Amino acid sequence: MRIGELAARTGVSVRSLRYYEEQQLLSSTRSAGGQRHYTEHEVGRVELIQQLYAAGLSSRTILELLPCTEAPSAANSDAALERMVQERDRLSEHIAELTRTRDALEDLIACNRYHRDLAATPA
């Protein structure tokens, strides 16, 4: 498939796909005319890259982890496993922070509703 179809199927811009290639996160073959061509496999890879970016991982970190998704092995498992644990722990802490913020916001909402309802009640 060509780059436009990959972009359409994954919801990722053509510009982003070119960036992924520049960062060595994605690869393509080239036609005689220089057009990029991708296999079906790249659809899942782009989706995974998007998930990892959305989770806050850098392109460098993603590049370190991608070999483990292709072929987990003893050769790349120790360093990659440690990196994945670090990223998981970082995400868990971020989730905890977001939960605390959401809970504080929920308390503020409840307090404001209470005072709004109190003010609306006839004396």
pTM attached to this predicted model: 0.71
Q: What residue numbers bound the domain in which 112 lies? A: 74-123
Mind listing the pLDDT tens digit for each residue in 33-82? 989 999 999 999 999 999 999 988 999 989 888 887 777 666 666 777 88
Query: Does 10 share its domain with 62?
Result: yes
Mean pLDDT of 6-21: 96
Select the more confidently predicted residue: 75 or 90: 90
Which CATH number do you get for residue 29?
1.10.1660.10
Q: Are 97 and 103 in contact (CB under 8 A)?
A: no
Read off φ and ψ for residue 9, nearest 5 degrees: -70, -30
Predicted pLDDT at 101: 98
User: What is the rounded distance in angstroms from the CA atom of residue 54 to the CA atom of residue 45?
Assistant: 14
Q: How many domains does the chain have?
A: 2
Q: CA nearest 27: which of 71, 66, 73?
A: 66
Query: Does 56 share its domain with 105?
Result: no
Strand, coil or helix: 11: coil
Select the more confidently predicted residue: 120 or 93: 93
